Structure formats: C-alpha cells, structure tokens
Amino acid sequence: MKEEKYDISGMHCAACSASVEKVTRKLPGVERSDVNLTTEIMTIRYDESQVTPEQIVAKVEKAGFGCTLHAEKKEPQNAEDAEEKALRRRKYELIIAAVFSVALLYVSMGQMLPFGLPSLPLPDLFSMHTHPVNFAIAQLLLTVPVLYCGRNFFISGFKALLHGNPNMDSLVAIGSACSFAYSVVMTFLISDDPHTYVHNLYYESSAVVLTLVSLGKFMESRNMQKTKGAITALMRLAPDTAILADTGREVPTESLKTGDTVLVKPGARVPADGVVARGESSVNEAMLTGESLPVEKAPGSEVIGGSVNQNGVLYVQVTRTGEDTTLARIIRFVEDAQGKKAPISKTADKVAGVFVPTVMGIALLAAVAWAVAGQPFAFVLRVFTSVLVIACPCALGLATPTAIMVGTGLGARHGILIRSGEILEITHSVDTVVLDKTGTVTKGEPAVTSVVPYQCGGDALLTAAAAVESVSAHPLAAAITAYAATQGLGELPKPESFENLSGRGLRAVLEGETVLAGNRRLLEEAGIDPTPLLAEAERLASQGQTPMFFARDGALLGLISVADGVKETSAAAIAKMKAAGIRTVLLTGDNHAAAGHIGQLVGVDEVIAEVLPEEKAGVIQKLQAQGRKVMMVGDGINDAPALTQAEVGCAIGSGSDIAIESADIVLMRDDLQDVPRALRLSALTLRDIKQNLFWAFCYNTIGIPVAAGLLYCFGGPLLSPMFAGAAMSLSSVCVVGNALRLGRADLQ
C-alpha cells in the first residue's frame, strides 16, 4: 500500500471535500481517502498494482476539481504572499460590491423610508411611480458590478452542478441567478404594465446576497489564515542562509552538509541541528520546545536549527540537515496532524455529502408547495432563494478541521506535538497513564544523593573520592566527580596509579596512600571492616540507591550514595493527573525496592517492577483487557513496542528517535507536566469541536424551515434572501471564530 498527498483546488465547502472523497474511494485498490477542507490536501492510501496517480488525478478533475501531487512548501514566505495577495484582491472586490449594493438598496428601497429619496438634480428620475423604467434600469446597472465581483460563485457553483457535485456556491449561484433573471424579465415587461411589474424586482436580493456571502467568505478566509499560523511560524524559523566558519562565506541553508561548521552570530538563528564546537551563549528555543527560559550552551552542547542565539558567538558543527532536522520533523508532525481527520468529523462529512442535493430538493419542494397554495411567483421565488442561500455546509465542514488546526498549533507552541486529529480526540478518553521510570519520571542520569563520612570531614571524603573516580569512565564515577565540582573543593590531587577491579570497584594510589573505592566485598578483601556503615548502606540500597564505600590507607573514610534522581516536576504532574481521575502506573525493569521507593516519592497509584523490555507491551495489553484506555509515556528504544501498543503513545522529546517515531504525541521538553497539559489540550479541542458541530447543525435545523416559510404559515414574517445570506455567512464566521478562541486557551 502506498500513501500520497495531493493538493486539491476549487473546493469551497464541505460538500466539495465530500465529493472528492466519494469519487476517489470508488477507485479500485483505494483503502482510504481523506480530504482536509482547510489545508486543501487529500491523503490517499492505495494499492499501486490497481490504480495509478494519473488515474487518481483524472478522477478528481472529472469531478470538477484541480488535483496535483502535493509538494512540500520550501518557500513559505512566497506561499503566504500569494495568499495575502488573493485575500487583498477579494477585499477590493468586496468593497466595490458593498458600495454598489448600498447604492442599489438606496434606490430600490429608499422610497420606503420615512424621509424618502433626497433631492437630486432630477428628483423624479429614479422614482418607481413616475419613471418605473429608469427605476428598473438603474437597479440593473448597479447589480451588474456586484455580480461581476461575485463571479467566482457562479463559475464554481455552476461548474460543480454540471459535474453532478453541487456545493455551497451552487446554492448561492442558483438563488442569485434566479432573482436576477426574474428581475430582468420584469424590467422588459414594465413598459407594458408599470404598476404591476415594478413591484416584482428583486435585484437587491440578488446583489446583496452575493455581497453578504462574500463578506462572510472573506472573514472566514482571513480567520483561516490565522488557524494556519502555527505551520507558517514554524516554517519561518529556518534561516535562508548560513555562514561557513572556515571561509566566512554566506551560503544557502539547503546547501549545508553534515560535518560543516557554521558561525552563528548573536541574534541570528541556528541554521541546522548541530553540536557547539566553540563558544558559549544562551539560546532561545521557545518556539520549538515551549521552554520560555533561554538554555545555556557550551562546547559539546546540542543546538536545534531555528533556535535563536542570544548573546555570544557560537561555532556549530552541523549534525542533521534538510528533512532530518528537528524543525523539519516538527513541521511534518504538525502538518500530518492537521491533515488527518478526527473520528467525530465523520458524522459531519456524511451529512455534508448529501446536504446540498437535499437542500436543493427542499427548496424545490417548498417552492412547489407555495405555488400550489396559490402564492404569486414573486413569493415562490423568494422562498426558493432563501432556502438555497441560508443552507450552509461550510459551517459543518469547518467545525472539526479548524479546531484541530488551532489545537495542534496551540500544542506546538507549548512543545506538545500531536500526530493526528484522531489522537487528539482519543487522548481525551485516556483513564490510565503508564510511565516509564528512567528518563521519564527520573532524570535518566545518576547523581550523588548522600555523602556519609566516617571519622573524617565531608570534604576529605569527597576530595579523595572525586580524585580517584576522575580516572574512571563508569557513570557512577562521573556522578561523583560532577558533584564534587559543585562543592568548591579546589584543585584535586592526581592519582599516581590506579587499577580497575572487576565487580568490586577500583584501587588507586593518591599522595602515596592507597585509596579503595567500591563495594563491601572490596573493603573486606583488604581487611577493612565496613560494619559501622552497613546499616546506612542497606537503608540507601532499599531506596534504589547505589552506595559506594571509600577507604584510605587502611581506614574507612565513609560512603557516597548515587541514584537516578526524580525530576523536579514529576510529583506535581502525577498529582494533576490523579486529580483529574486518571490512574497512574510506574513501569520499570528495576528491582521492586528501587521502583517502590520512586513510586512512593512521586505518588503513583501502582508500581510494576522487574519487567523486561519485551514484556512492557504485554503489561499494556493486560491493562487494556481490563477495559482501560491507556497512554504510555516513555523515552527509550525499549519503550517503542509499548508506545505502539497503547491507545496513545507519548514520547519525551529528548528520548531516542525510535521512541519518537513510535509515538502519537511528542513532548519536546523533559517535563512530565506536559502530559496533563496534553490531556487538557485534547479535552479543550474536543469541546470546541462539539460546540462547532452543535451550532452548525442547530443553525441549519432552525434556518432552513424558517426560510421555507414555516413562520409565515403561523402568521409570522417571511425571511428575506438578504437576511438569509447574512445568517449563512455569520454561521461560518462563528465556527472559525470559536476555533480561534481555542488558540488563547490556558493549558495549565
């Protein structure tokens, strides 16, 4: 099976996207086809042996839409300029249409106002009573420019109608065209019977409907540009050029290769992922990780392409370029999420697929019913036009994708990357969060937790320990030397010789004296009694710590304990999840004592310890068999099967690439509090989608019967096509506006 993306042009509402899905799903070998109305991208999965890209394109084009293989936007600046240019053109056309529409309303309905028409050079020139022909022709001339400005409705609407896929533009085009055509006929008949035909002109309905719908579409498009802001902002992060350190030459960023060293000046953006070779500075990574504070960088530190160097000069050796960079992966992640549909949108899609034909049938049925009831043709036309114009599949089609686009964008700004709209919806239903211990709940690196001297000072113990451990490459040794560096001990003495003793520790000669560093067995072999510190060592070991004994010149110095420390935010994050009614489980391969101690520190509901890497997915399966919706949070390669098995796999962004690729959600920061934030983001987005769908369905359920004359049957008013057009536009604007409101939500 092959999955491809295609850019679809010519779509104007949910009925359009539903039509494209319908025709492509009928092709042999197509497993699925999803069209995102907001991004105008079709994602199709098909069997290459049964269907070709050419056949897919031909099928879509036959349905009346443009179709080209999706190309990644290498120049987002130009793409946005094109969008802004099109929006600006629509704005000018809208202003022209509005001016002529106001003038048309003034001429057609001015005499109905209490003060009548103002004094003109020829006061009666446009009077419907004294000059009915002039009155009609003036309206005709004022309507034509409005129809021209709204020509896209007619081009798109009638084209879709001819291809058998009527859309929202078809409804507006038919309604406006009927009103205009009827008015033109009345204009030619006025000279025969002025007093009868002059009251049957509906030019203002034809023009004002177009203007109001155009206003709604313009506001909708402008707001939709804002919903795409997350992708645009991310794409703008990558600088166009980079400075090569060896030559000082400025080159395009795309030409950089792995191994190149680039110069990053203060205030400049890092052109690609890399490692600092020289220099020190603080780097702002907020747009990529959501981390508000600048991160200090020194030689050996990793930097992310797109982050901003704030003060010092950095020389960065490039490690990843092009599509392999962190920024490119984030953009791909967010784009994929915005292009995939949530399950809740399927209901709206099914409705939208039959909505327009149904509305046309209702309009025709209502018109025939009123004609049979004896109403004049003008009345029947008004009902027919109002039903066509008020129906709005746009609101239905925009309800889900706009909320998903804004929700994923909000997540990206907080360093939370969601893989798909489906995951965004499923996350809300999670009731159990399984947490890997090492690197997720804990820091993932050993650190000194206790220094216990025996018959000597703490500095003496730490100096001897750090001096001998400085020659060892063991992670526990690195923890001790790193801790000693923070205690202000000054320059440490250098060991004169040292020997690694397998399974026991090491022996070194320091300032002419033998120093031992290791476990109890090492001291006992040397005839040194560790008994005074055994009880403390056993207590620390029961908490999952690793105690190491130290002796100098045959005398016990003390012990230093090392452990993988808990992250500062882990307990608070777990408390938030528990407060939300979510069960938390700590899953680890460590022994029960160590795991139990960590579990007690952070307050999880359950600890599952001594689990082999290949058994982690099985633990998830058992929880699922109990009816639980599970989120797995991990960072290592051994977590990948469990991440895939869980309903929602959540990877810590600093973890392995395999874990990230296996995950549905990626947290760019090493902060477990982003897990409850992701859960809240899902809940807020789903709430927004439900609100949008409710108002879209509610609007159409109420609006169409009113437009068909339901209120008139009980002595109420008959809806004007102008008010129908205004209401239709307002519904779409409200849906998009509600989605934009989500972008200002607080995830705390």
Q: How far apart are CA 598 and CA 561, in angstroms?
A: 16
Q: Are 387 and 708 spatial neighbours (Cβ–Cβ below 8 Å)?
A: yes
∠ CA 214-215-218, rounded to 5°: 85
Comparison of pLDDT for 225 and 723, the residue scoring more: 723
- What confidence score (pLDDT) does residue 517 get? 92
For residue 365, pLDDT over 90 is answered with: yes
Listed in sequence order, the residues at least 6 apart from 312 whose beta carbon sits closer than 8 Å to its beta carbon are 266, 279, 280, 281, 282
Computed from CA positions of residues 314, 319, 320, 325, in that sequence, does the dihedral angle turn out positive or negative? Answer: negative
**Three-class DSSP labels, 221-270:** HHHHHHHCHHHHHHHHHCCCEEEECCCCCEEEHHHCCCCCEEEECCCCEC
Q: Are 691 and 745 spatial neighbours (Cβ–Cβ below 8 Å)?
A: no
Please give the C-alpha separations between residue 740 and each of 73, 220, 509, in angstroms, as whole numbers. Answer: 24, 11, 68
pTM of the model: 0.68
For residue 606, pLDDT over 90 is answered with: yes
Please give the C-alpha separations between residue 609 and each of 444, 539, 612, 634, 657, in angstroms, as whole numbers. Answer: 17, 19, 9, 15, 25
* Range 295-313 average pLDDT: 87
Phi, psi (rounded to 5 degrees) for 651: -105, 140
For residue 323, pLDDT over 50 is answered with: yes
- What confidence score (pLDDT) does residue 348 get? 60
Query: 239-324 and 443-566 share one CATH topology?
Result: no
Q: How far apart are CA 723 and CA 337, in angstroms?
A: 37
Q: Are 301 and 319 spatial neighbours (Cβ–Cβ below 8 Å)?
A: no
Q: How far apart are CA 577 and CA 435, in angstroms?
A: 12
- What confidence score (pLDDT) does residue 654 get? 57
403-441+567-679 has CATH 3.40.50.1000 classification? yes
Place of tokens 């034909």: 357
Domain boundaries, the chain: 2-71, 77-230, 239-324, 403-441+567-679, 443-566
pLDDT band at 349 (very low <50, low <70, confident <90, very high): low
* Range 478-484 average pLDDT: 89
pLDDT band at 147 (very low <50, low <70, confident <90, very high): very high
- What confidence score (pLDDT) does residue 694 get? 84
**CATH level 3 topology of 239-324:** 2.70.150
443-566 has CATH 1.20.120.1200 classification? no
Q: What is the pLDDT of residues 723-739, one digit of tens each?
A: 776 776 677 778 878 88
H helices of 708-720, in order, are 710-713
Query: What residue ranges in 306-457 does DSSP mark as E strands?
Result: 308-309, 314-320, 416-418, 432-436, 442-453
| Beta bridge partners of residue 564, listed in sequence order | 446
At 148, list the tokens: 């021209």
* Range 455-483 average pLDDT: 87
Q: What is the pLDDT of residues 69-79, one digit of tens each?
A: 886 544 444 44
- What confidence score (pLDDT) does residue 1 get? 83
H helices of 614-720, in order, are 616-625, 640-645, 657-662, 674-707, 710-713
Q: How far apart are CA 164 and CA 177, in angstroms?
A: 19
- What confidence score (pLDDT) does residue 657 get? 57
Catalytic residues: 436
Q: How far apart are CA 622 and CA 226, in angstroms?
A: 44
Q: How far apart are CA 360 and CA 555, in angstroms?
A: 97
For residue 176, pLDDT over 60 is answered with: yes
* Range 624-649 average pLDDT: 83
352 membership: H or E segment, kind and range: helix 345-372
For residue 332, pLDDT over 80 is answered with: no
The architecture of the domain spanning 2-71 is 2-Layer Sandwich (3.30)
- What confidence score (pLDDT) does residue 392 get? 63
Listed in sequence order, the residues at least 6 apart from 417 whose beta carbon sits closer than 8 Å to its beta carbon are 330, 333, 334, 337, 411, 653, 665, 666, 667, 668
For residue 41, pLDDT over 50 is answered with: yes
* Range 423-429 average pLDDT: 85
* Range 537-545 average pLDDT: 84
- What confidence score (pLDDT) does residue 110 get? 62
Q: Residue 688 gets which letter from DSSP?
A: H
Q: Are 691 and 741 spatial neighbours (Cβ–Cβ below 8 Å)?
A: no
Q: What are the percentages of helix, strand and coil residues in the chain, rounded to 5?
A: 55, 20, 30
